[in-house]
Amino acid sequence: MGCGKRSLTTAAVALVCAITVLGAPGMAYAAPANPTPTPTPPAAPTTKSGKDLEAVREKLDKLYHDAAVATDAYNAAEEKTGKQSTQIVELAKAIVKGQAKLDSLQDRAGAAARAQYRGGGLPPEAQLWLSDSPQEYLDGAGRVRQGEHGTKGLLAEMKRTQQDLAQYTKDASAQWERLEANRKTRAAAKKKIKQRIAAAEKLESQLEKDEKKRLAKLEEDTAYQAQTAWLSSGVLDEINSKASAQGKKAVQYATAQVGRPYVWGAEGPKSFDCSGLTSQAWASAGHPIPRTSQQQWQQLERVDIKDMRPGDLVIYFGDASHVGMYIGDGAIVHAPRPGRTVTITGAGSMPILGVVRPDK
């Protein structure tokens, strides 16, 4: 998820003023000449109706869903930033190495040019006449030709090195621009995540203690109803595939994290977001997969729900903003959303987009 965190919803606490009726049947009160204002009794909170709490749940769901989408964007930008930083470092090393090579080639070319200048002042006829023997002249002429070829080779290599340096510099500049763009994307996503989570937490803090309990029960009931509807379709009767060896390892890792807190952008070992849990589970099984739920949906092999097996990833919502790992018997293990911990729940408790398989 990045990852996502489908859960509960929001509203505001409604307050009503209690109205005090003064007087008793059969008695009348004359207004005093200088009436004293009647103190207004303190506002008494009313218990939210089921409809009000449902509105709260829906609003919380939306806030946490938006935070999940932003978390996926943050995780993707974070991953790209890391890769681009590594590439820039490698390009910088290549530029330093290339410049050193160019300096060496220039020194060699300069030495060759100076040698040719010192020995090339006489015409060939004079060199032959002054030489002690024709063979020495021929040997010298051969060395000159070799030197000329070597110089040409040096110049060609210098040209290639200069071209490589220019390309390295251009690539480094482009990577730097992309790095800055991803940093901005990451910063914007981080800001949105914090805003949505803060709004959700504020909304929940406005609920009375009893209302929070009722809201939690409403969330459980909603998830149970969705799971019941999913199972009633008979889908579980068709799911009978066994986990692969790597799938078993991934499931063991994921279920061992039950109880650890959800933290956006986290991928263990003490906390996780939804895709942080699934990606680390498969990494522990020796099979690295993409970091975010959207990347997992886009890049991994898709399978029909009826062919689902433990270790497969169930992707949720139309924008692939949440992911859980199927563990068998119609259940998944997942990191739900801020304020919750890694838990096991029904695979059909949220709207399923599809299923992907990390290992073929």
Residue 21's pLDDT band (cuts 50, 70, 90): very low
The predicted pLDDT at position 42 comes to 45
Three-state DSSP at 288 gives coil
Q: What percent of the chain has pLDDT over 90?
A: 39
Residue 138's pLDDT band (cuts 50, 70, 90): low
- In angstroms, the Cα distances linking 52 to 4, 130, 150, 202, 236 are 25, 112, 87, 16, 34
Tokens of 318: 């139309």
The predicted pLDDT at position 157 comes to 77
- Residues 317, 319, 321, 326: is their CA dihedral positive or negative? positive
- Residues 337, 323, 213, 42: is their CA dihedral positive or negative? positive
Residue 305 carries which side chain, given as an amino acid letter? I
- pLDDT, tens digit (0-9, with 9 covering 90-100), for 68-116: 888 888 888 888 888 878 888 887 887 888 788 777 877 776 776 666 5
Are residues 67 and 59 in contact, defined by beta-carbon separation less than 8 angstroms? no
Residue carrying structure tokens 């929001």: 10
Per-residue pLDDT averaged across 131-151, rounded?
55
Does 22 score more than 50 pLDDT?
no
Count of C-beta atoms within a 10 Å radius of residue 256: 13
β-pairing, 343-346 vs 331-334, is: antiparallel
- In angstroms, the Cα distances linking 280 to 62, 79, 345 are 27, 14, 19
Rounded to 5°, angle at Cα 70 from 75 and 348: 95
The predicted pLDDT at position 6 comes to 36
Among 263, 246, 229, CA closest to 309: 246
353 vs 124: which has the higher pLDDT: 353
What's the predicted TM-score (pTM) here? 0.63
The predicted pLDDT at position 17 comes to 29
- pLDDT, tens digit (0-9, with 9 covering 90-100), for 282-297: 999 999 999 999 999 9
- What is the set of active-site residues? 274, 322, 334
Count of C-beta atoms within a 10 Å radius of residue 129: 10
250: exposed, middle or buried (Cβ count in 10 Å: 0-12, 13-18, 19+): buried
CA distance 342 to 329: 18
